[in-house]
């Protein structure tokens, strides 16, 4: 059986792999931390990879950003806020100290 290394030595890859692939982790990390695509472009340039903004955006899309953990910071915050609000309402509904008018309103609409 051929090992990966021996196979690689004999037959070079024919499919083109994005130069960004090497920086996948860093790109994900920077984006998750709220860095803009332009800033990521600067980071890549500093590492010798000159790419356009479109190329970075395309790379992100290919990573299935929408359904991965790589949500845009704003949409993630909005999602968290939705969850938080729902939890707050549940807490309010079950709070024995809450006024009856609010309790009745929440019971009707949740």
Partner 1 sequence: MLSNYDLIAVIGLKGGVGKTNTSWQVMPAILQNQGFDFKIFEIDDINNSNFYINSSIIKPETCLTVKTNDKNIVSKIVFETIAGESKIIVDGGGGTDSIRTVSLVKSIGDDVRKLWLIPFDRNPDNFESAIEASELINDPQNTIFVMNGYSNDKSEFDWFYAKKIENYIEVPFSLLFHDSQKLKYTVHDLALISKTVPKSEIKQILRNKFTKDGVLEQEQFIEAFNEYLKSEKAAELLNEIFTNFDNFAQKKSQNRKK
Q: Whole-angstrom Cα distance, residue 15 to residue 94?
A: 59
Residue the block writes with tokens 């845009």: 72
- Cβ-based burial of 4 (10 A; exposed 0-12, middle 13-18, buried ≥19): exposed
- Which range touches partner 1 (CB under 8 A), out of 2-10, 34-42, 51-59, 95-103? 95-103
Between CA 106 and CA 110 the distance in angstroms is: 6
Is 75 a binding residue for partner 1 by CB under 8 A? The answer is no
- Which CB, 10 or 99, lies closer to partner 1? 99
Among 17-25, 43-51, 52-60, 78-86, the segment contacting partner 1 (CB under 8 A) = 78-86
List residues binding partner 1 (CB under 8 A): 82, 85-86, 88-89, 92, 98-102, 104-106, 108-110
């Amino acid at each position: 059986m051929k090992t990966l290394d021996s196979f690689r030595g004999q037959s070079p890859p024919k499919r083109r792999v994005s130069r960004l692939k090497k920086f996948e982790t860093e790109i994900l990390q920077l984006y998750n931390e709220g860095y803009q695509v332009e800033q990521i472009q600067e980071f890549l340039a500093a590492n010798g990879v000159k790419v356009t903004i479109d190329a970075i955006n395309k790379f992100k899309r290919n990573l299935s950003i929408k359904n991965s953990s790589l949500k845009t910071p704003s949409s993630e915050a909005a999602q968290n806020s939705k969850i938080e609000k729902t939890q707050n309402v549940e807490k309010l509904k079950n709070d024995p100290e809450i006024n009856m008018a609010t309790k009745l309103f929440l019971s009707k609409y949740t």
